[in-house]
Every structure is written in structure tokens, then in C-alpha cells.
Structure 1
């Protein structure tokens, strides 16, 4: 009898242990799910980039057949339209993406667009797509060199005119009457700018390009771009050292939050032959800083940015001043 009771006791204990294990794992999954999702959502952008590459490869493989069938002079134009629709749809559905100041984009002349670099420049992708669809102009862009080693990037850079960028090549593109977008802060700004501060160091390349090509500069900033995606700031010193050694962005990216995103274009800064590259850099830096101060709540709030998809607070546009140490404070 005692043996029978002992067996029942053991079975009950096993059931309790199994129940606790199941309950524990359910609790752990519920607790960690938001954290896991914040690091998985950026993968959507990677998927979209590879979808872009696949679409372009399909057109490349069937180029001769399609050209014969449709008698197109520029077959890539159709491929660009499809890709632009894909990105514009994602921007509209996920971020309610909008542009203010689109009238500053010239219809048929050259201009240099200088923009603030988010953790992932998804706003630039949306912006390029919308300008292509609604202004019928393809914006050439300068990208960091490490991107050109990523499988699938070659076809994207070839069709969508993405270049590593030297002063000479950028100047030539503008002299041919094209639009060109550059972020002077680049990957460094993407990884380490936490409060929308411009991190250009002493980079003058873009100013030299504008002066040599004699084109206006259009400042560009996207509201809440750093609330959509953020770089992990924990272990900042380690990420800085790794970046300094390799020039590769090691800091993990998280986010993908469907916050409201609105790109603002400032009034063009006209070409002035009397300005030196240093003076022009300062002028553009000030114009872009003012654009950020006017349109961005600092510090940023993911929750508030999500709410702005449906409601914009009348107190949102607080007066923000850019201090000498590149930090913002409320006036």
C-alpha cells in the first residue's frame, strides 16, 4: 500500500513540475517577446532590400525579352517604378510617411541634398521612392563603402545609382544635371547620434562638391527617424573602438516601430562663389540644425511618436535651441 501511495506521490510531483515548467516558459516568452520583436523588426527592411534586388535581377535576366515585347528605351525605368511603389507603399502603411517642401526639388536641374542620417536611413528610401513617383526624378545617393560588399547590393547600386562617392564623381553627377543625396555624418552619425545631434566632425567633402558643381544645397530632415530605429547605446565605448578600427557599424540596431515619419525639406542654399568650403559647411550645418530644432521633439519619445500617427499635440513644436556643444535644450 505504501508503495502504491509513493507511486501516486511521484506522479503528482512530476505533473506539478511539468506544469511549472510550462507555466515558466509561457511567462518567459510573454516577458521577452517585446524585446525579441524589437531586434527582429529591423529585418523587415533587409527583406525589402532583398525583394528590391530580386525584382531588379528578374528584369536583368529577362531584359532582352522584355525590351522586345514592350519596346522600351530604358527598361530599368519600369523596374524602378515597381521598386518605388514597393517602398512608397511600405512607408505609407507603416509610418504614414509624408514630405513637406517637395516644391524645393527642382524639376530638371541639379541640386545637392544634405540629410541627417538615422540609425537606418529608411526615410531616405521612402523619400527617393516618392520623388521618383511624383517628380519623375531619380536621386543619386552616396553610401558607405562596406555596403558594396553585401550580396545583392551590386544590382541595387547599379540601377538606383548608389555610389561610394568621391569629390570628383559626385561633382560630375551634379554637373550632368542630376540630384544627389549625401549625409556628411554617414555611418558614424547613424551609430552614435542619440539626440539628433549632427556628427560631421570636420568633413568638407560635400561643400567642395557643391562649390565645384555650382549647385544649391537642400537641407533635409525626417521627423522621428530615430524613434523608428535606434542603435544600442549600451557599451558605446566598445562600439566606438570597433568602428574606429574597422569602419564597420557593429552597434546592434533595434526598433522598426510604426511611428509617424515626416520628411522636411528646407529652403535651398544657393551657390555662392564667395563662400569657402568651411563657410559653406557651417551654413549648411546651421540650416539643418534649425530644421531639426523646428520639427523634432528632443529628447525623442517612441510612445509620443506612435500617438502622432493619429493625433498631433498642439504643444509638439517646442522651441529648441542648438547649443555650442551640439546638444539641444528647451528655450
Structure 2
């Protein structure tokens, strides 16, 4: 090995990359690159049967799930045909809702409770806990489209509107970024409107203890008062076990608070059990101030968390709940 290193130093005609290759081969203690390639070929020959044995069943499972998703869409084909005949965007919206609903059923065994608290017509403000990634909310929107035939308007963070290519999706699903006047206008028009007071801050910096990160926000309550509509609290069990963030690291928190850029890494995608609960509506009460109504709503969402979520959340336990048909009532 020393002789070859000396050759690299002594012979300037050898390019630097060639020297690195020689050093790497020497480090592997192989006489030549050909020996190394032969060694890789041998390993491939040894492990190919094992790879085939374990990979092929995975493809079969994927194919089965795609088949289930196809059946899910096929079951609703007449509804989709009717939706497309009315409006291309209604059809597109219902098709995407069907696909999201299929994904929810397959990957998370998604269940929705308290649908009777959601009006068949007329406005209401839905206030929910924000997970690291709000896939549970996407599932909820899909269910509302399919079961109620209604599009739930949503309030999204400003950064969503800066993501290239997102505009068509935001428009079709009626996502707005505010301000308050636009929210009141949507409710005054008879629509459902959903908002998470914690927003991105709650998504990134809450954790498996499901702490509500609302601060003193009461703008949503003022919207409900101005529009004279009820507030419906909402929470999804195990949403933090599906996806988690590294928001506990101080550097990420500092970057967000300083620049309002959500650079906190998110990991997960675990197929844990998701159950979304809609609480009883909080009726419009002109005697309540915005701060009082905000506190009342916060208590209602916290009550749903206390009733339906084991604290702290546990990914393994949430996975096992896929096989548990009982809801958490204690």
C-alpha cells in the first residue's frame, strides 16, 4: 500500500481521482478493482434469493392495496359520473376525495365520529388541533364531500400560497389565508369553514403530549361572533403518532420565530389508527366576548383530547389500535 501511495505522490501524470480509487482499493485490501467487482458479484449472487423472497411479497401487498383502492373508486363511479356531468371541478373534487378516502381507509383505518354535529346545510366554524402534517384534516374534508356533499372551506397558512404549483389545488378545495373579512364572508355565504388556531406553530412545536399551542389567539372566535355561527371542536386520535416533528430542537424554533420559515424536519407516515371526533357545537352567544369564546373553544378541544387520546402518545400502541375496535372513552 505504501508503494502505491508513493507512486501517486511521485507521478504527477496520475489524476487525483485515480489516486483515490487506488487508495480505496488498497483500503479494502483487494489486489485490484476487478477483485472488488468480483466480490460484489459474489455478494449479489448470495443475497439475490433472499431479496426475491422478501421483495416479491411486498409487491403483492402493494398490488392488493391498489386493488382495494380501485374497488373504492369503482364503488362510487356513478356518483363520480354525475359529479362530472354537473361540473368538471365538482367531478375532480369528488374524485380526489374518493382517492383520499381510500388512502385513509387502507393506511390508517380512518373513522369519523360525531358527523351528526355537522350541519347538512348552513354555516359553521370547525376548530381543530393541528398535527405535524394535517393528513387527518384532508381525510375529514374528503368524508364531508362524500357523505355530506359539501365542500369545507379552509384557512391555510400564508406559506402554502407560496409553494409553486399549489394554486389549483388550493382553489379547487377553497383554501383561503384570511383575512378575517374573507372568513366572515365564507360563513355568511352558508359554507363550512375550518381553522386551526395553533396553525403551523402547533404543527411544528406541539408533541406527543398534545399541548394546544394557541397562545392568546381569539381572531377565530371573533369571526364566529361576526358571522353569528356555531363553533364545532374537532380532534383526531393518534395524529401525532402518524407524523412527528423535531420541533423540540431550539435552533428550529428560533429559525421559525425569527424568519417564519417552517424548516423543522418531519418524519413518520406510520400506519397508525386515526379516529376523528367532532364535538358538540358551541352555539352563538352574543353575551360572550371573543376572548371568552376562544377560551371556551379551547376547553372543548382539550376535552376531546382528554377523552380520546392516551397521553403521552405512543407509536407502537397506536399501531396496535389498528386491531382494536373499541374507542377510547376513558
Shorter-normalised TM range? 0.7 to 0.9
Q: How many matched pairs? A: 260
1:219 is paired with a residue of what secondary structure? strand
- Alignment correspondent of 2:62: none
Judge conservation of contact 1:191–1:251 (CA < 8 Å) in 2: yes
- Alignment correspondent of 1:271: 284
Separation of aligned partners in 1, 2:107 and 2:97: 15
Query: Is 1:231 matched up with 2:245?
Result: yes
**CA root-mean-square deviation:** 2.5
Of 11, 16, 30, the match for 1:14? 30
Separation of aligned partners in 2, 1:313 and 1:84: 27
The range that moved more, 147-156 or 117-126, is: 147-156
Moved over 2 A (4+): 12-15, 70-75, 311-314
- Alignment correspondent of 1:126: 139
- Alignment correspondent of 1:199: 213
Separation of aligned partners in 2, 1:140 and 1:311: 33
TM-score by length of structure 1 reads 0.74
Query: Is 1:251 matched up with 2:264?
Result: yes
Separation of aligned partners in 2, 1:243 and 1:14: 50
- Alignment correspondent of 2:12: none
2:229 is paired with a residue of what secondary structure? coil
Separation of aligned partners in 2, 1:71 and 1:203: 40
Q: Which gives a bigger RCO, structure 1 or 2 (Cα 8 Å, sep 6+)?
A: 1
Greater Rg over alpha carbons, structure: 2
| Structure 1 residues 139-171: Cα deviation after superposition (integer angstroms, max 9, x where no partner) | 000000001111221001111100111111000
The range that moved more, 133-142 or 73-82, is: 73-82
Judge conservation of contact 1:88–1:126 (CA < 8 Å) in 2: yes
Q: CA deviation at 1:73?
A: 4.4
1:70-219 matched pairs, under 5 angstroms = 72-194=85-207, 195-219=209-233
Structure 2 gap ranges (5+): 1-25, 45-82
Separation of aligned partners in 1, 2:254 and 2:84: 54
